[in-house]
Amino acid sequence: MNSLIPLFVIIPLGSAFLMVILERFLKNICKVITPFALLSLLILTLHFILRVEDTQIYKVGGFEPVNGIPIAIYMVIDGLSKFVLLIISLVGFFSILYSLSYTNQYTSENKFYVLFSLLIAGMNGVVISGDIFNIYVFLEIAAIASYALVAFGVEKQQLEATFKYQILGGIASMIILMTIGLIYWNTGTLNIADIYTQISNQNSLFLKFVSLLFVAGFGLKAAIFPFHSWLPDAHSSAPSPISAMLSGVLIKAIGIYVVFRLFFNMFPLSHEIAMTITVLGTISMIVGVLLAIGQWDLKRLLAYHSISQMGYVIIGVGIGMLVIVTGGDKKIAALSIAGGLFHMINHSVFKGLLFLNAGAIEYRTGTRNLQRLGGLAKFMPITSSTSFIASMSISGIPPFNGFFSKVLIIVAAVRAGYNWIAFFAVFVSVITLASFTKVQKYAFHNNDGNKWLKKNIKEVPFSMSFSMIIMALLCLGLSFFIVPEVRDIFLNPAVQILVDTMEYSTKIVGM
């Protein structure tokens, strides 16, 4: 057993507990503990990626299997979980650095850092959980923290948004818990690997039914079409570093990741489910961008683009699933899945950065209405330049990271024979470019900006600027994931877990 695995939950949970106690005696201690905790998690993640190659488990309580049946709570780290943990810790660290100055506008900012730590603990727990019930437990920790963080400013718009978010989130949780109960009733186990060994040869109506329930439940958490209605309000109303976390990380960790884990490593692959996921991803990609282009509220525009960009991730992995289930070339499947996962981390960085840019604009000007902005480039050069980089990245313009992941997905779609998906992927990318050309024009270059002279508009504080600069550099740096040697370290272990659907259960049950 690897005793370092529980630290992914212990560090953020312990930090939250410690901050609640120490904030009474030491002012601003939360601004020290939280960044240190997130940095520790980032270092720990890199340790597992660079130094630990094989799948690692930790059995809570040390209980060994009885008659071959795993009875302990399993915490598992493999190639896929390491990849998602990297996304969480990377975006989380720079979001919390950004928050050090951003949260000065709130009266109860210490509680912000406590909730942020709980959010991280919940997402990490989901990613390392080896059984479906504890995925649900940690999912609820992350969800409840996110509900509070969306409403943190306690303004009318934020309270309304979090109410909608809670209602739909509660429905999703109910569906997920009910489905977990049905699976336990059918198999007598909650361990993902053990469930796979029992149902891997089945193709019953029951499996199709629970599969659809999981698609609905986790589809709501991931905000894919047609389960996306809560996302624009929640993401646009939340404090900007939380918007970056919700869009860049949360919908992936408690939505997309779980869908991929369950439908590759727990359920037997099904052509019907693979096609359902791929079609929903394609529609999400198209609907999201068409809804986004007409928006004038900057954060709402970005929120709709989250729906669209998640479509790219889903179609990449969905095409890979279709190729595998139809007995196609696994190299094409691996290429498509690699493109989907590559876009997953790319989206976390460039969309996180765009929300931080939007927060910087609102922080200085008091508005995020594009029609009331303009000319900010000369007053906020760091925000302007980093926003341009992120805009080019999400639009798929070379040499930025979004270009390379989109190319992988499009090439794989063509090679797999899904030319219609490739066409829509290119079409959506063109509309995305038009949408962010509008953002650049109206926010930064629409006029000479003389109206801002009277308000003494200037660049945001150092911690906010530093986070935006580093994430802009990552929009370039992540392009190196296209290099085979780099891809072998960070991306291919995650791809292998999905392509070889039996590997996860074989390694876990055999341990």
Query: Residues 6-32: what's their mean pLDDT?
Result: 88
The answer, yes or no, to whether residue 102 has pLDDT greater than 90, is no
247 band by pLDDT with thresholds 50, 70 and 90: confident
The answer, yes or no, to whether residue 154 has pLDDT greater than 70, is no
What are 204-239's pLDDT values in tens digits?
788 888 888 999 898 888 888 887 778 888 877 888
DSSP for 465-478? HHHHHHHHHHHHHG
Q: Would you state the pLDDT for residue 7? A: 92
452 band by pLDDT with thresholds 50, 70 and 90: low
Taking the C-alpha atoms of residue 426 and residue 289, their distance in angstroms, rounded to an integer, is 12
The answer, yes or no, to whether residue 469 has pLDDT greater than 90, is yes
| Three-class DSSP category at 492 | helix
Instruction: Report the candidate in 88, 84, 64, 89 with the shortest Cα–Cα distance to residue 74.
Output: 64
Query: Residues 123-142: what's their mean pLDDT?
Result: 92
Q: Would you state the pLDDT for residue 120? A: 93
Between 107-111, 272-276, 331-335, 336-340, the lowest mean confidence (pLDDT) is in 107-111
Q: How would you class 296 by CB atoms within 10 Å of its CB: exposed for 0-12, middle for 13-18, buried for 19 or more?
A: middle
Q: Would you state the pLDDT for residue 313? A: 92
Structure tokens at 241: 């570093």
The answer, yes or no, to whether residue 20 has pLDDT greater than 70, is yes
**Whole-prediction pTM value?**
0.92
Task: Between 145 and 457, name the one with better pLDDT.
Answer: 145
Taking the C-alpha atoms of residue 435 and residue 60, their distance in angstroms, rounded to an integer, is 48
- List residues bridging with 58 in a β-sheet: 75
- List residues bridging with 59 in a β-sheet: 74
Taking the C-alpha atoms of residue 2 and residue 19, their distance in angstroms, rounded to an integer, is 28
Cis peptide before 226 (omega within 30 of 0): yes
Q: Would you state the pLDDT for residue 90? A: 92
Taking the C-alpha atoms of residue 295 and residue 291, their distance in angstroms, rounded to an integer, is 7
Query: Residues 168-175: what's their mean pLDDT?
Result: 90
Whether 274 and 326 have beta carbons less than 8 Å apart is answered as: no
Q: Would you state the pLDDT for residue 446? A: 77
What are 254-290's pLDDT values in tens digits?
889 999 999 888 888 888 888 989 999 999 999 999 9
- Residue 468 burial (CB count, 10 A): 28
Whether 72 and 60 have beta carbons less than 8 Å apart is answered as: yes
Task: Between 367 and 69, name the one with better pLDDT.
Answer: 367
Mean pLDDT, all residues of the chain: 87
Taking the C-alpha atoms of residue 239 and residue 149, their distance in angstroms, rounded to an integer, is 8
The answer, yes or no, to whether residue 182 has pLDDT greater than 70, is yes
Q: Would you state the pLDDT for residue 473? A: 94
Query: Residues 22-28: what's their mean pLDDT?
Result: 81
- List residues bridging with 56 in a β-sheet: 77
Taking the C-alpha atoms of residue 310 and residue 432, their distance in angstroms, rounded to an integer, is 13
Instruction: Report the candidate in 270, 274, 310, 315 with the shortest Cα–Cα distance to residue 292.
Output: 310
449 band by pLDDT with thresholds 50, 70 and 90: low
CA quadruple 200, 202, 206, 208: dihedral positive or negative?
A: positive
DSSP for 217-255? HHHHHHT-TTS-TTHHHHHHHS-HHHHHHIIIIIHIIII
Give the β-pairing of 56-60 and 73-77: antiparallel
Cis peptide before 399 (omega within 30 of 0): yes
- Residue 315 burial (CB count, 10 A): 33
Percent of the chain with pLDDT over 90: 35
What are the backbone dihedrals phi and psi of residue 314, each rounded to the nearest 5 degrees, phi first?
A: -70, -40
